[in-house]
């Protein structure tokens, strides 16, 4: 991606349509785009209905995120006034639409549809472009295709060492390749490499400092490789946005000790939202100028009264995210006290040029505001790599021991800044050769066999008790132990019951509380899968390997990010005598019949056939968990136990006795208290499904046995 000017701060996720569940949003958007582009091009009306359709499907796919879309709803109502146009759009009759392209009665319609829906579709899909999953023309790239297909990802031996899932690896690759270019493409900056290098150099960095180190950096002001450590250390020491690599040019008109006229002031102290705000800025400047000339009590009183009345606006413009002055709000401040409390303020230093100081302040305050606004999404993308931890106001590396060996500091450092002034179309060359393609970490970092051998040798040297083939399982076991400790600390039994109860009684306030109690980076349905898994962990008396069982993508902080893929169960538990499939959904009963009936039985059938082929002797049981069950769906699954069923993978293979037991959320809450009967309950369910013609009350009878 590019920054059009040196004053910009990069933004990895378009703010139009911002959402917290970024990884999940990317997954949704790329699948919608892939579906729509199978039979059409990425164009707007009248040439194509693709962009309008994208917006429609985006809001349908995320009803919890896009709760309100009044403008779009009003547009659909207005379209009913022109049934011919509405019919052409609904039937995707582009030949009719193109024919009426220049008809004056339809031109305004096309403009309004573009403004209300198609522009949003372009904004949402621009996030795929920024991360390399689609081209500017919205064609799915090779790496975008891999994100869709996910399970077919081929890892190199370094990637295979990390106990990360495929989604984590894909994002890690893209983050390492991510470059922010200048407008002409001659210079670039790699934000992830900057952040990674800082964390390789400093074990732990405050979130505010990390934000300035990464988000405030610009490709327009390249830092020499030899000075990067000075840059990082200075920010960590000063916590000051003006310590970043931003270089500011002072206009000649401001480089004076003379007071500025309103017209000159207004040219350089701007505000995009309101011209009236500039008048407030100027009055603040005017009164501060007068106080600096004559430091009298009367002038201070007048100045501070104005400052207090406009404090929020002025602090935002000139305070770097904080207060411009230290003052006592409730009482009159004497001049001497005010000067003492603010002795370090450059605004009060008689030796400084007020015009220059104030200009620097408004410049860097805007940079500070923009970094605060955009860093939130940057961190969400960084966390999707699975190696960046964000906890208690500090950023650090997960798998620090592995990261310090695999990511060579000098190599990462050399990738932070770069120039390509003599290369034709440097951005296009980089995108087509690297960014859009499935390049592994070894290829990205240009590691040869000797380098990789050295990395493995160093890992084993640090852990002499393991062999090369044991490295993955060794660190996976460490991660598993950390996950169990995380669950014990953050999600004790009582809390899990409380959260499940919030799901059982869904409303907007409960959804908000769920986000606060678990994570803001995932949708409520994704969080439901996660919490159901933890509930089952307690029901099993902590006997299952929960981390290995979850098919969710997790952050380095063990937070849920992306729901399980459609080709696999939400949670797959491999125990010594049981294989348990957990399928969790918050869909209402009608949605269950439409969306869950086929995939749940497919997963169950295929898993049972696999176990029978392997000769494991383990019992395969599926539990479908939701708030309110659809009676027909429950009974259809019960009926499957008594018929022969075919594999969807190999049509020559069959099985029988498939067990799909349905549970409601409130019943799962109660099961947690039955942990001492875990194996007994599982065996009771399996035995019950062997009964022929169980009768209409089979489920209530079974549940009364399980939960007396």
Output the average pLDDT for the chain.
Answer: 93
Question: pLDDT by residue (tens digit) across 651-662?
Answer: 999 999 999 999
Residue 552 pLDDT more than 80?
Answer: yes
**What is the rounded (10 degree) CA torsion for 45, 48, 50, 53?**
60
Give the integer Cα–Cα distance in Å for 320 and 278.
Answer: 18
Q: Does residue 402 have a pLDDT over 60?
A: yes
Domain residue extents for the chain:
22-140, 159-247+369-453, 269-351, 491-706
Query: What pLDDT digit, counting tens, does each position of 235-247 carry?
Result: 999 999 999 999 9
Residues 313 and 280 sit within 8 Å (Cβ to Cβ): yes
- Summarize pLDDT for 531-550 with one digit per residue, the tens: 999 999 999 999 999 999 99
Give the tens place of pLDDT for each residue, 296-341.
999 999 999 999 999 999 999 999 989 999 998 777 899 999 999 9
> Does the pTM exceed 0.85?
yes
649: pLDDT strictly greater than 60: yes
State residue 15's pLDDT score.
Answer: 65
At residue 701 the predicted structure's pLDDT band, cuts being 50, 70 and 90, is very high
Which of the given ranges, 616-620, 645-649, 665-669, has the highest pLDDT on average? 665-669
pLDDT band at 563 (very low <50, low <70, confident <90, very high): confident
| pLDDT at position 47 over 80 | yes
What pLDDT does 566 receive?
65
Task: At 185, list the tokens.
Answer: 């493409």
Q: How far is CA 61 from CA 66, 145, 327, 329, 381, in A?
A: 9, 20, 50, 49, 21
Q: Which value, to the nearest 10 degrees, does the dihedral of the CA atoms of residues 473, 475, 478, 480 take?
A: -60
Q: In this structure, which long-range contacts are made by residues 262-268, counting pairs with CB atoms below 8 Å and at least 24 apart in sequence?
A: 268/359
| DSSP line for 217-267 | --TTSPPPGGGHHHHHHHHHHH--GGGSS---PPPGGGSSSSPPPHHHHHH
Per-residue confidence band for 491, with pLDDT thresholds at 50, 70 and 90: very high
Tell me which residue has tokens 């160093």.
458
Are 72 and 116 spatial neighbours (Cβ–Cβ below 8 Å)? yes
**pLDDT at 273 > cutoff 80:** no
Binned at pLDDT 50, 70 and 90, residue 275 comes out as confident
pLDDT tens-digit map of 55-101 = 999 999 988 788 889 999 998 888 889 899 999 998 989 999 999 88
pLDDT for the residue numbered 633: 95
Per-residue confidence at 17, pLDDT binned at 50, 70, 90?
A: low
Measured distance CA(205)–CA(416) in Å, rounded: 18
70-84, 373-387, 625-639: which range is least confident on average? 70-84
Could you tell me which of 410, 511, 517, 404 has the C-alpha nearest to residue 463?
404
Does residue 18 have a pLDDT over 70?
no
Range 509-524 average pLDDT:
93
565: confidence class by pLDDT, cuts 50, 70, 90? confident
16 — pLDDT class (breaks 50, 70, 90): low
User: What is the per-residue pLDDT across 59-70, written as a single tens digit (0 to 9) for each?
Assistant: 999 887 888 899
The two structure tokens encoding residue 302: 């007048």
Identify the pLDDT of residue 118: 96
For residue 427, the model assigns a pLDDT of 87
Per-residue pLDDT at 151: 74
- pLDDT for the residue 549: 95
Query: CATH classification of 491-706, choosing from 3.30.460.20, 3.20.20.70, 3.50.50.60, 3.40.91.50?
Result: 3.40.91.50
Average pLDDT over residues 397-419: 96
């Amino acid at each position: 991606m590019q920054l059009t000017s040196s004053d910009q701060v990069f933004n990895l996720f378009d703010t139009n349509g911002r959402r917290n569940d970024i990884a999940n949003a990317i997954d949704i958007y790329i699948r919608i785009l892939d579906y729509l582009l199978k039979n059409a091009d990425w164009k707007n009306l009248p040439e194509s209905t693709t962009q309008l359709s994208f917006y429609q499907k985006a809001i349908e796919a995320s009803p919890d995120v896009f709760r309100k879309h009044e403008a779009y709803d009003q547009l659909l109502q207005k379209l009913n006034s022109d049934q011919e146009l509405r019919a052409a759009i609904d039937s995707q009759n582009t030949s009719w639409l193109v024919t009426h392209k220049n008809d004056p009665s339809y031109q305004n319609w096309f403009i309004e549809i573009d403004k209300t829906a198609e522009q949003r579709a372009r904004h949402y899909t621009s996030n795929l472009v920024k991360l390399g999953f689609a081209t500017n023309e919205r064609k799915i790239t090779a790496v975008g295709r891999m994100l869709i297909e996910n399970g077919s990802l081929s890892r190199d031996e370094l990637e295979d060492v990390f106990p990360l899932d495929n989604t984590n690896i894909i994002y890690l690759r893209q983050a390492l390749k991510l470059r922010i270019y200048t407008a002409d493409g001659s210079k670039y900056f790699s934000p992830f490499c900057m952040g990674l290098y800082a964390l390789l150099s400093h074990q732990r960095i405050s979130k505010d400092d990390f934000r300035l180190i990464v988000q405030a950096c610009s490709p327009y002001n390249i830092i020499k490789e030899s000075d990067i450590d000075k840059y990082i250390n200075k920010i960590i020491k000063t916590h000051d946005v003006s310590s970043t690599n931003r270089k500011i040019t002072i206009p000649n008109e401001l480089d004076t000790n003379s007071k500025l006229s309103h017209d000159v002031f207004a040219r350089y102290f701007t505000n995009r939202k309101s011209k009236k705000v500039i008048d407030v800025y100027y009055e603040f400047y005017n009164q501060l100028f007068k106080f600096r000339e004559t430091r009298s009590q009367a002038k201070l009183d007048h100045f501070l009264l104005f400052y207090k009345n406009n404090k929020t606006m002025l602090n935002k413009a000139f305070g770097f995210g904080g207060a411009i002055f230290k003052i006592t709000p409730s009482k009159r401040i004497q001049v001497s006290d005010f000067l003492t409390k603010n002795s370090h303020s450059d605004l009060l230093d008689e030796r400084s040029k007020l015009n220059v100081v104030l200009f620097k302040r408004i410049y860097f305050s805007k940079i500070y505001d923009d970094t605060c606004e955009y860093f939130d999404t940057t961190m969400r993308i960084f966390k999707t790599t699975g190696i960046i931890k964000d906890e208690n106001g500090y950023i650090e590396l997960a798998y620090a021991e592995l990261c310090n060996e695999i990511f060579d500091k000098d190599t990462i450092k050399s990738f932070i800044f770069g120039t390509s002034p003599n290369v034709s179309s440097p951005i296009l060359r980089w995108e087509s050769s690297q960014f859009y393609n499935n390049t592994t970490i070894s290829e990205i970092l240009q590691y040869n066999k000797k380098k990789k051998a050295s990395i493995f040798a160093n890992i084993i040297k640090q852990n002499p008790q393991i062999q090369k083939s044991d490295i993955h399982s060794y660190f996976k076991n460490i991660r598993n132990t950390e996950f169990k400790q995380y669950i014990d600390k953050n999600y004790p039994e009582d809390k899990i019951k409380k959260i499940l109860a919030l799901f059982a009684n869904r409303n907007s306030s409960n959804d908000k509380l769920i986000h606060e109690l678990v994570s803001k980076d995932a949708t409520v349905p994704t969080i439901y899968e996660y919490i159901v898994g933890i509930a089952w962990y307690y029901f099993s008396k902590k006997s299952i390997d929960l981390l290995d069982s979850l098919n969710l993508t997790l952050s380095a902080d063990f937070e849920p990010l992306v729901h399980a893929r459609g080709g696999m169960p939400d949670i797959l538990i491999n125990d010594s005598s049981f294989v348990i499939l957990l399928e969790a959904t918050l869909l209402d009963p009608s949605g269950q019949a439409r969306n869950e009936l086929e995939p749940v039985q497919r997963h169950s059938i295929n898993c049972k056939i696999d176990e029978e082929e392997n000769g494991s002797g383990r019992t395969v049981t599926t539990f479908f968990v939701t708030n309110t069950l659809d009676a027909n769906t429950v009974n259809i699954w019960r009926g499957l136990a008594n018929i022969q069923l075919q594999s969807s993978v190999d049509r020559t293979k069959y099985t029988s006795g498939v067990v799909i037991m349905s549970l409601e959320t409130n019943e799962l809450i109660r099961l947690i208290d039955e942990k001492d009967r875990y194996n007994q309950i599982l065996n009771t369910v399996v035995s019950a499904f062997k009964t022929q013609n169980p009768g209409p009350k089979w489920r209530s009878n079974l549940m009364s046995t399980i939960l007396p």
